[in-house]
Amino acid sequence: MAIDATMEFREELVGGWGMAVQGRAHVLRPTSAEQVAAAMTLVRRRGGTLALRGAGCSYGDAAMNSAGYVLDLGQMRRILAFDPRSGVISVEPGVTIRDLWRHAISYGFWPPVVPGTSAVSVGGATAMNIHGKNNFAVGPFGEHVESFALETPGAGSLRCSRDQNADVFHAAISGFGMLGCFTEITVRLKRVHSGRLRVWAVATNDLAANLQLLEDLRGTADYLVGWLDLHATGAALGRGTMHRADQLHPGEDAEGLRYFDPALQDVPTRLFGVVPKGWLWPGMWAAVQLGQVGTVNWAKFVASAREQRRSPYLQTHGAFHFLLDYVPRWQWMTRPGGLIQFQPFVPQANAERVLRTLIERCQRAGTVPYLGVLKRHRPDPFLMTHAVDGYSLAMDFCVSTDPAKRAALWRLCQELAEVVLDGGGRFYYAKDAVLEESSFSRVHGAASVAKFRALKQRLDPDRLLQSDLSRRLAV
Ligand SMILES: Cc1cc2nc3c(=O)[nH]c(=O)nc-3n(C[C@H](O)[C@H](O)[C@H](O)COP(=O)(O)OP(=O)(O)OC[C@H]3O[C@@H](n4cnc5c(N)ncnc54)[C@H](O)[C@@H]3O)c2cc1C
């Protein structure tokens, strides 16, 4: 069906990044804000629903709309303006984090908040209000957004900032694409004085040591992230490696400016300069199939002592932040069932008890996440925030193709969610595939949910914008 001569919805399979959930939808790739508005009008006229999609890096169903319509913003990828003195940049929503830093690094700027992959779009980063390894220090992506243009189904195009339509500004950031489509976003990048960071690795013996280290370092470190070996039991439960990275001051790194070359920031595509990293996932797949993930984790933990001895060392921003981009298509190691991530955010006072309970329950169920990542967070002013004054633990699970095993994993995660909610915790919808309807108001509280629903009624009265996620949570 054509909107104009150049635009057409095509039926496609649309999935989550984790490959565990997917559905067919009619997909359109607009190239301008006018086409976004026209698509909204057309889908409304057809009585359909519309989901917005950036780079499709959400693990679950946040950017899916099974049997409905999807606007894929990946073709709106122009950098509209950049001030090399202030680092303020205006972009279309499909511009990726990688596009951002490649454009800005030679001027000495880097995005203030980046996720574990640089493939995500600025639209998706804003809608989910992504956090980085520096969330405890600088807040989420939204805290660095200066303004945006939002195309809404019911109220036209709105310009929003902290001074203009401030309520919409604070709700659309974190609003997982439910209030409108960002068509232009202005972000303030941060100044860097070297293309590298100073990095330390510290081997940690248990969960308490990891949490304590985050507390000890968060006043001084720029970035902190802990890898946990979730297979370790008993006194070693929650052991792992904490990585700290600090920005370098002017003149501290004699070679630092050389690394402003974007080509030196990209993670290398070959292992030892020889083996294409695209070939690594089958080896990882074999480790999963042979049940050897526990051994791999043990080896990684043992190796962390050596990394600690050679610390600190210098590493490019790209290499430090985008570890998950090192092995292209690494998620294929979980084929054919795919993966889900369960990432609870737990207030500091309850964190050790709740996180220990989660890890122990997984171990007792014999369903141990192959990856665990611990971060420190702080609250932020966005309506649908996932952050707390506490910690998150991202837990990655392989999904079986056996329906009974798949259902058991979903049940386990729902039981874990109860533990988190009872402990005053929250969840992050970019990583969710399992939460049930009742969780939505328990996560956000009745007052915030009522405010969000009132805004939805004002900006999208026909409930045009929906996704599989929003229907699952009855948003
Ligand atoms: C390997 C990996 C590592 C990750 N690490 C982190 C991490 O460290 N921290 C973190 O916070 N996240 C992390 N993520 C999650 C990721 O940052 C979020 O899912 C992000 O939202 C993905 O952006 P996207 O462009 O792919 O958006 P999509 O996944 O396509 O969409 C995400 C949401 O944004 C909405 N949306 C997209 N574009 C627009 C628009 N133009 N206007 C309005 N709404 C829109 C969609 O409707 C959807 O609800 C990671 C993901 C991967 C795959």
The string of pLDDT tens digits covering residues 158-203 is: 999 999 999 999 999 999 999 999 999 999 999 999 999 999 999 9
Joined together, the tokens standing for residue 412 give 């386990």
Least confident interval from 199-213, 313-327, 387-401, 442-456: 313-327
Section 464-470 average pLDDT: 98
Best of 14, 28, 57 for a ligand 1 pocket test (most atoms within 8 Å of beta carbon): 57
Section 1-5 average pLDDT: 54
Predicted local confidence at residue 283, as pLDDT: 82
Predicted local confidence at residue 1, as pLDDT: 47
Our CA dihedral for 278, 279, 284, 289, rounded to 10 degrees, sits at 120
Least confident interval from 226-230, 325-329, 433-437: 325-329
Q: Which ligand 1 atom is the nearest neighbour of the CA of 57? A: 26
Percent of the chain with pLDDT over 90: 89
Question: For residue range 67-83, what is the model confidence (pLDDT) as tens digits?
Answer: 999 999 999 999 999 99
Residues whose CB falls within 8 Å of the CB of residue 90, separated by 6 or more in sequence, listed in order: 79, 80, 81, 82, 184, 185, 186, 187
Taking the alpha carbons of 437, 441, 442, 443 in that order, is the dihedral positive or negative? positive
For 240-369, where are the alpha helices, taking DSSP H only? 262-265, 281-289, 293-309, 317-321, 348-365
Q: How many A from CA of 274 to the centre of ligand 1?
A: 32
Least confident interval from 70-84, 285-299, 333-347: 285-299
Q: 288-295: long-range contacts at Cβ-Cβ below 8 A with a sequence spacing of 24 or more?
A: 288/333, 288/334, 288/370, 288/398, 293/231, 293/368, 293/370, 294/231, 294/368
Q: CA-to-CA distance for 37 and 52, rounded, in angstroms?
A: 12
Predicted local confidence at residue 3, as pLDDT: 59
Q: CA-to-CA distance for 344 and 141, rounded, in angstroms?
A: 19
Answer whether residue 253 shows pLDDT above 60: yes
Predicted local confidence at residue 466, as pLDDT: 98
> Exposed, middle or buried by CB within 10 Å (0-12, 13-18, 19+), for 468?
buried
Question: For residue range 54-64, what is the model confidence (pLDDT) as tens digits?
Answer: 999 999 999 99
Joined together, the tokens standing for residue 253 give 């790194």
Predicted local confidence at residue 4, as pLDDT: 63
Of 360, 370, 467, the closest CA to residue 66 belongs to: 467
Three-state DSSP at 313 gives strand
Three-state DSSP at 253 gives coil
Q: How many A from CA of 63 to the centre of ligand 1?
A: 8
Predicted local confidence at residue 280, as pLDDT: 78
Q: How many A from CA of 124 to the centre of ligand 1?
A: 4
CA atoms within 13 A on the CB side of 40: 26
Q: Which residues line ligand 1 (CB under 6 A)?
A: 17, 51-58, 62-63, 73, 93, 115-117, 120-121, 123-125, 127-128, 130-131, 176-177, 181-182, 324, 430, 467
